[in-house]
Structure 1
């Protein structure tokens, strides 16, 4: 049940800085229903009227302005599952989200109503050993947008903990505010890879994650950033946004023992093996892309060079850095957007991800 002492905002009192239609994007919920795109099963989406989610004392209700389409959304749409996460009941997809706070819980300052925010789409328990160690992305009881059975943001409204609704300045668009989520993956990946001033980095995959990771690596001071991708158009984009060189892994050799860090944003087993062999001694490989559940690895190379091979599971404590990088002009997220779709066009948005020219499709509920 919604907290009866919650504070809401009338549409007329909203700030005018929004980059989407203000009335459509920021009205407080009059009735307690909203429009949402709902995944019923693999390849089956419906547009429905569903209840507006209730908020707790330390939560806020956000009128969604923009949501990026992620590879995980595409996997759920096509396969109905990702590993052990299975869609067993209707699910609202979408976790890369931004919007405007229209209602706050009883323990949240009413001054936050009307605030433009980027949503960090997770709700950790804050009590397990991982949460207490600051590794809340590994929380044993975490609830994450669009991961069954937790609903996401392909809807008019979404609820999030107040401290995971990160304020963004008017200079940052709603699209860019939503894409703080994939940017956070790039930040977390570069942190885990130890990327810093003077680093050499190989990135496999020039999709959205690969592109933002290249931008982050440059912002962190890397001086040799190479992006490997078989699609020439995507390599060209990588060169415009962070990469120093592009490699076609099908027709060109990946240099051996040439990099301090390797970040896989492709999910390709071949790319993973090539990337590990491309690492210098004491280098680090970070596996980000969603691919096969099991792959063979060049174990002798890992042993003889004392390489570190690790994975990425979301992120923790990245939003302040993400917002600062975008505000400073060191990362360009708006340039990644290649299309906008309404809630009735979510299937089209999901299918667009397979097109080589698509980098990031955005769902805009107000459309």
Structure 2
């Protein structure tokens, strides 16, 4: 898999048959090309196609201009789409109470989609206070909880003013978070596993069964999700940055020149960034 698949750019040339974009358009790249003959593709789940080619090369370009703002916003479309897909799987609706595990880019973007889909209140869980504070700053968290210092399930619910979540979006893949998600969910609740674990994990199957919870696996995104993400950013910034309900641009905490790309990856590995942008070649 080629690194850097969350990308945007400006169309510099087009072929004779291209009608969806023109030279000079700012575009976000959807970097996946499925087989149009697979059962998964024909069944409307192209993200599950076993022949998917998924990389950073521009095999597939979303034919809509980027939302108002910089090209950096265009690079957020792809991870935002992951949040759109998860929200659809969970059927998030008006008055749902949502807990999001993980205050990285995917977690914060998923929280923003949950709010847009009608969630009444959102609590975000992480082990880094600076990331939790950012979640509040950009407007996606009503409550925050540090699971490293805050305690267990009862403490989390207390931090949520006693509210019991109907939906959990698990974006870490960490076994303690997966276990805690099952413990805090309201009976009949829904959980979407977005984060990837490093291997098999222990799972509280008895509590999961007796609560009649529903667990959804989530892999990338599906039909119409990408266009929905573009529309979300477009709507968010339609009245200008100063009036935007969600400050998506503040998710970008670090920026590097193309010549410093290796240093960018080294820094991201330290865990000190939320979202890091690498400029194109000069």
Higher relative helix content? 2
Higher relative strand content? 1
Aligned length: 264
Bigger Rg over Cα: 1
Q: Once the two structures are superposed, what CA deviation does each residue of 1:215-259 show, in whole Å capped at 9, x if it has no partner? A: 111111101211111111111111223111011112233347921
Q: Once the two structures are superposed, what CA deviation does each residue of 1:126-159 show, in whole Å capped at 9, x if it has no partner? A: 22111112111011210001xxxxxx2xxxxx43
Q: Once the two structures are superposed, what CA deviation does each residue of 1:265-299 show, in whole Å capped at 9, x if it has no partner? A: 11210001101111112211111112222101110
2:225 alignment partner in structure 1: 318
Tell me, in whole angstroms, the C-alpha distance in 2 between the residues paired with 1:322 and 1:136. Answer: 17
Does the aligned pair in 2 maintain the 1:212–1:331 contact within 8 Å?
A: no
Alignment of 1:1-367 (within 5 A): 92-109=2-19, 112-145=22-55, 152=56, 158-161=57-60, 164-169=61-66, 171-240=68-137, 241-250=139-148, 251-255=150-154, 258-316=164-222, 317-329=224-236, 330-355=245-270, 357-367=272-282
Does the aligned pair in 1 maintain the 2:168–2:185 contact within 8 Å?
A: yes
How does the TM-score come out when normalised to structure 1? 0.68
SS at the partner of 1:282? coil
Tell me, in whole angstroms, the C-alpha distance in 2 between the residues paired with 1:353 and 1:166. Answer: 31
SS at the partner of 1:351? helix
Q: Offset at 1:300?
A: 0.6
Does the aligned pair in 1 maintain the 2:193–2:218 contact within 8 Å?
A: yes
How does the TM-score come out when normalised to structure 2? 0.87
Given the superposition, is the C-alpha separation of residues 324 and 138 from structure 1 closer, same or farther in structure 2, using an over 3 Å criterion?
same
Runs of 4+ residues deviating >3 angstroms:
354-357
Tell me, in whole angstroms, the C-alpha distance in 1 between the residues paired with 2:207 and 2:118. Answer: 27
Extract unaligned runs of 5+ from structure 1: 1-90, 146-151, 153-157
